[in-house]
Structure 1
């Protein structure tokens, strides 16, 4: 669940209490039958009705630049643009606007829906909520005390190679220009946190260290829990990365479990990009436009969670989704001995298999030995870690 039931009920109460005459009133979406509605917006009617009622409340407080359109029509323009990356002829005809006007409208609505993230994107805060999320994750992959999956989500943009300095900053590890946001999701693919919008060349570790959620986790505000992360992140007491060179069956088994839960992020981003095709191309690269791109990413994250709440499947006819990016690591990543010890302790407690090492130890490198007492040394590292069973 992307947000707790009390939060959901509170939003429903706000809609019922403040929606006024607009709540449940006929809207321009009623002109579409259910099949056409999904083709144009990639969302179901109940889902759109909920989004519309929530947006009405917030947009009533704005001084709208284009009063010729109703709130319903502005939301229609935005949802259609999110779904296809351009405005459909049927929507342009309905609202009587051109593509340029629709982009401005979409920008306004994106800011409004992004502002709804405080209600619809929620990291587990209470101990009970954290235990519930961790239990579901452990049930999936056998790794305990995990609150979510951490990932750097890249979204393509256009950049001119003639603007050399700007262009280079946006080129990511796969060689194309993008912006990148930090996303955390749970084992069901609900988005728990979305932060930052940086140029595509930004290090994943840099995103984490400068993020609110990263500082909260590393400062122990969320307790002794992990987030699962790929090779672009440094192993820490709260960021759990795979073993770089597994030396035995236990480490291999752990890496397989890590891959299983880490793949949830790839699936989640794939689902988002199928439902909201605007994320496959966010326009032109400009440093001063990152805030607008961030609003679109956050808005689509909010709508993703709402769509999951209404069990709306993503379209199945979309194109190929690129894989998660290979981690962009610094030349000499920090090695935290305490984090190494904590990860080995987790492996011993949950993935221990009494077996010989896969390869004979190289000269000068400690071989991992699994004994009845559970004493291990970290393969491929000068750090020797003794772990009590």
Structure 2
């Protein structure tokens, strides 16, 4: 290709790109997602129009102010990110939606900016709140007792795998037992499926109990001078602040009754995880987040905050297909028990947990018989 032909080609390419940007700007101006029906709007973005408006106002001070006519508005950036969170689709199809009309690179930047803003300390402290006051703890304990008939419960705990692409560093930390790369995300929720704690900093190869033993909330509960506990499955160590089911408990026995009540109450964390992923399908294991672990963790945190916003507003849960549900179940490894009783200190902690659980078993059995 001669120099004159190369100059002409570059001129035509530049002219094409300019024309394409103008068409996209025109499309965004002609198609306003806020004009859609409420049901269609929530189907695409999960939040209601009112909640999206409030979210935009909250993060507006953290975002760059548009200076040119071609600059994206805060609303367009937020809706673009919400569309990705909600569907887990690749960035190019999201940009092709008429109300967005964005290039793939622009979609990527919008998702990154909105995710960073939602991950701000201000937003996290406002929307992910573990109860710190005695009054707040009493409210949660009363709600668990009202709904499930089990006293002293401050929350339910479990972990879930969020698939990511193979990391370039420390790859072995992210390879889970189901043979894919993931984050093992610890969640704690209350009786109404509000998530009170999230930790997305560990790779999929990390055991649930290791994440819990490294978490500051564990130390907080351990030093709390109150009779209260979380509910966890048998993969967690029994402690005075963490009640687990009685393995192989016989029916129609105090232990069997306690385990039935425990399982029914603890099921709220499984339903919470299911609701979180049905709202924000980018977290479904077979969708796979194509980001580095740290960025993927930020996306998880953002989705948890958005879930809490939706949950508090009592927005309806979106349906998840049988195929998605089946694939998700197949890709979640069972939480295997881990032997954590290896020292006299751990033995003492276990014995304290056994004593408190036995007392709880007796109390529940007495209530049943009365």
What range describes the TM-score normalised by the shorter chain of this pair? 0.7 to 0.9
Structure 2 counterparts to residues 59-98 of structure 1, below 5 A: 59=63, 68-86=71-89, 87=91, 88-89=93-94, 92-98=97-103
8 Å contact kept, 2:283–2:289: no
Partner Cα separation in structure 2 for residue 329 and residue 101 of structure 1: 45
CA-to-partner distance for each residue in 1:323-358, whole Å, 9 max, x for gaps?
A: 464223334545411111111011111225999xxx
Q: TM-score, normalised by structure 2?
A: 0.78
Partner Cα separation in structure 2 for residue 89 and residue 118 of structure 1: 30
> How far off its partner does 1:128 sit?
1.7
353 and 39 in structure 1: CA distance in 2 versus 1, 3 angstrom threshold: closer
Structure 2 counterparts to residues 1-389 of structure 1, below 5 A: 28-59=32-63, 68-86=71-89, 87=91, 88-89=93-94, 92-115=97-120, 116-159=123-166, 166-220=170-224, 223-247=226-250, 249-280=253-284, 281-284=287-290, 289-318=292-321, 319-320=324-325, 322-323=328-329, 325-331=333-339, 333=341, 334-335=346-347, 336-352=350-366
253 and 76 in structure 1: CA distance in 2 versus 1, 3 angstrom threshold: same
Partner Cα separation in structure 1 for residue 269 and residue 356 of structure 2: 24
The answer to which structure has the higher helix fraction is: 2
* RMSD across aligned positions (CA): 2.9
8 Å contact kept, 2:80–2:94: no
> How far off its partner does 1:32 sit?
2.5
320 and 247 in structure 1: CA distance in 2 versus 1, 3 angstrom threshold: closer
8 Å contact kept, 2:237–2:340: no
Partner Cα separation in structure 2 for residue 260 and residue 177 of structure 1: 31
Residue 71 of structure 2 aligns to a residue whose secondary structure is coil
Partner Cα separation in structure 2 for residue 341 and residue 56 of structure 1: 52
8 Å contact kept, 1:197–1:293: no
Instruction: Structure 2: give runs of 5+ residues left out of the alignment.
Output: 1-30
> How far off its partner does 1:166 sit?
4.8
Partner Cα separation in structure 1 for residue 145 and residue 367 of structure 2: 18
Partner Cα separation in structure 1 for residue 367 and residue 314 of structure 2: 40
The aligned length equals 320
220 and 317 in structure 1: CA distance in 2 versus 1, 3 angstrom threshold: closer
Q: TM-score, normalised by structure 1?
A: 0.74
8 Å contact kept, 1:208–1:214: yes
Partner Cα separation in structure 2 for residue 353 and residue 272 of structure 1: 34
Q: Which moved more, 1:315-324 or 1:198-207?
A: 315-324
Q: Which moved more, 1:93-102 or 1:115-124?
A: 93-102
